[in-house]
């Protein structure tokens, strides 16, 4: 095993020097030789890196770097905590389709069994998942052993001849200490690696490690927080060294953005423009001598623009309209509704008074390209100065060069940035 351990240590060292972001993440995963019965290639349980010695022996040093970074990036992107209701095999495959192109674009050389499809470039696992065929049995590069079909439940071991397939679970004799998890006497609690910093070729019993049990909900939640902190720290160090960029940097930046509920943020901004206030102006003498606060209100002028290009789905638009309707009543807002893809829809504007129900006209047609300028040009031509303009979009289109003289909120579906205005992420 010494030559395998040397190769893994060399690959990890080269990652630290050449790819400090990925290298810092790989350092958090102790490297443990695994039983080939359940680990034909490599695997992770979000605590350790498991490897089949013969598989590593067949890889070049460059390919070994790839598989190390592959497991670390699964952990950094919290794939172990994001599956929710999704089918495990399909989710595992979506995660591999999301990770492998990021590593290849960063200059790492994938092994022959790495799955990559160009159309999934730059997409998250959640975006890729619905695009996969339900019966797609493509093999992933590795084994994701942090999960089970019951989200942490137990299943019987796979039958003979079915070893190495997804859906198999821990051997009945496997214990927690053999996974490289918390409590291992030879593990450095700060780095996540062994005290010696070398790959761990065997478990405590002196044999190749058996398959670890799936994570419990509490373990999953704790590890998600830990990996987010590790990822943020690694990204900051790599950015300072000027060695983090491209699609990987954009994906990590999107992941680390605060993910607050968009309804809460939208309600906060709309409440901020509501013209409700208390006044202590002296009342009429008929009302007495006491000065008591009285509520005064004024109508809020709100412009709501909807991107009707092909990338925004009808059910998403309807959900957005429903939320605006709920908030409109609270803010006593007069809503001017506009719809636009590359140009304004026929029939605009649709105006709704505070007491009228906000609804989407049935005659709206879209599906073309995206251009935001017609909306702002229309507002300017009509001499409007709204208290707030809310634009629901994927933000992929042509924007005006100059920011208008009124507040704008972009409710964005996707990862696209906006040059001005307040951006609210649609989760």
Q: pLDDT tens for residues 358-399? A: 887 776 766 667 889 999 999 999 998 988 898 988 888 888
Q: How confident is residue 67, by pLDDT bands cut at 50, 70 and 90?
A: very high
Q: Could you give the 3-state DSSP secondary structure of residue 196? A: coil
Q: How confident is residue 295, by pLDDT bands cut at 50, 70 and 90?
A: very low
**CB of 125 within 8 A of CB of 96?**
no
* pTM exceeding 0.85: no
Rounded to the nearest integer, the mean pLDDT of the chain is 78
Average pLDDT over residues 349-357: 87
Q: Could you give the 3-state DSSP secondary structure of residue 72? A: helix
Q: How confident is residue 57, by pLDDT bands cut at 50, 70 and 90?
A: very high
**CB of 152 within 8 A of CB of 217?**
yes
Weakest-pLDDT range from 33-37, 45-49, 86-90, 325-329: 325-329
Q: Kindly write down the DSSP assignment for every residue of 289-343, as one continuous string.
A: S----EEEEE-EEEEEEEE-STTS-HHHHHHHHHHHHHHHHHHTEEEEEEEESSS
Name the residue among 67, 71, 118, 68 with its Cα closest to residue 97: 118
Q: For a pLDDT cut of 90, what percent of the chain falls above it? A: 34
Instruction: Kindly list the domain boundaries of the chain, sorted by start residue.
Output: 2-256, 262-284+291-425
Q: What is the pLDDT of residue 314?
A: 76
Domain 262-284+291-425 has what CATH class? alpha beta
Q: In angstroms, rounded to a whole number, what is the distance separating the alpha carbons of residues 92 and 86? A: 10
Phi, psi torsion values for 179, nearest 5 degrees: -95, -5
Q: In angstroms, rounded to a whole number, what is the distance separating the alpha carbons of residues 101 and 111? A: 12
Read off the pLDDT of residues 143-180 as tens digits, 9 standing for 90 and up. 999 986 544 333 333 433 343 333 333 333 333 333 33
Q: How confident is residue 323, by pLDDT bands cut at 50, 70 and 90?
A: confident
- The residues facing 422 across adjacent strands are 409
Read off the pLDDT of residues 171-228 as tens digits, 9 standing for 90 and up. 333 333 333 343 343 444 334 444 344 555 454 445 688 999 999 999 999 999 899 8
């Amino acid at each position: 095993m010494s030559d395998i351990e040397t190769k893994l240590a060399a690959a990890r060292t080269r990652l630290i020097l050449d790819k400090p972001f990925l290298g810092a993440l790989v350092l958090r995963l102790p490297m443990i030789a695994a039983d080939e019965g359940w680990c034909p290639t490599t695997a992770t349980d979000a605590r350790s890196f498991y490897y089949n010695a013969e598989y590593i022996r067949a890889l070049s040093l460059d390919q070994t770097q790839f598989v190390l970074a592959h497991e670390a990036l699964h952990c950094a992107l919290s794939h172990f905590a994001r599956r929710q209701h999704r089918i495990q095999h399909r989710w595992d495959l979506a995660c591999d389709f999301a990770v492998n192109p990021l590593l290849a674009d960063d200059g790492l050389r994938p092994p022959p069994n790495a799955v990559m499809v160009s159309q999934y470039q730059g997409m998250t696992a959640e975006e890729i998942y619905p695009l996969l065929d339900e019966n797609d049995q493509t093999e992933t590069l590795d084994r994701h052993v942090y999960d089970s079909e019951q989200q942490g439940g137990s299943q019987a071991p796979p039958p003979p001849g079915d070893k190495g397939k997804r859906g198999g679970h821990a051997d009945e004799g496997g214990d927690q200490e053999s996974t490289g998890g918390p409590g291992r006497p030879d593990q450095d609690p700060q780095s996540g690696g062994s005290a010696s910093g070398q790959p761990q070729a065997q478990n405590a019993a002196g044999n190749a490690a058996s398959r670890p049990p799936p994570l419990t909900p509490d373990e999953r939640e704790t590890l998600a927080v830990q990996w987010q902190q590790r990822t943020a720290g690694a990204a900051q160090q790599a950015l300072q060294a000027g060695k983090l960029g491209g699609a990987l940097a954009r994906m990590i930046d999107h992941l680390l953005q605060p993910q607050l509920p968009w309804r809460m943020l939208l309600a906060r901004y709309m409440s901020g423009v509501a013209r409700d206030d208390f006044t202590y102006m002296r009342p009429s003498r008929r009302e007495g001598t006491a000065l008591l606060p009285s509520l005064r209100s004024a109508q809020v002028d709100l412009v709501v623009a909807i991107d009707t290009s092909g990338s925004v789905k009808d059910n998403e638009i309807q959900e957005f309209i429903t939320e605006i309707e709920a908030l409109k009543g609270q803010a006593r807002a007069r809503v001017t509704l506009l719809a636009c893809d590359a140009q304004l829809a026929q029939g605009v504007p649709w105006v709704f008074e505070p007491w009228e129900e906000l609804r989407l006209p049935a005659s709206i047609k879209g599906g073309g390209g995206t251009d935001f300028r017609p909306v702002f040009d229309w507002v300017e031509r009509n001499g409007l100065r709204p208290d707030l303009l809310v634009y629901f979009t994927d933000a992929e289109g042509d924007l005006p060069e100059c920011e208008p003289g009124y507040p704008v909120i972009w409710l964005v579906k996707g990862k696209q940035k906006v040059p001005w205005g307040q951006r609210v992420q649609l989760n």
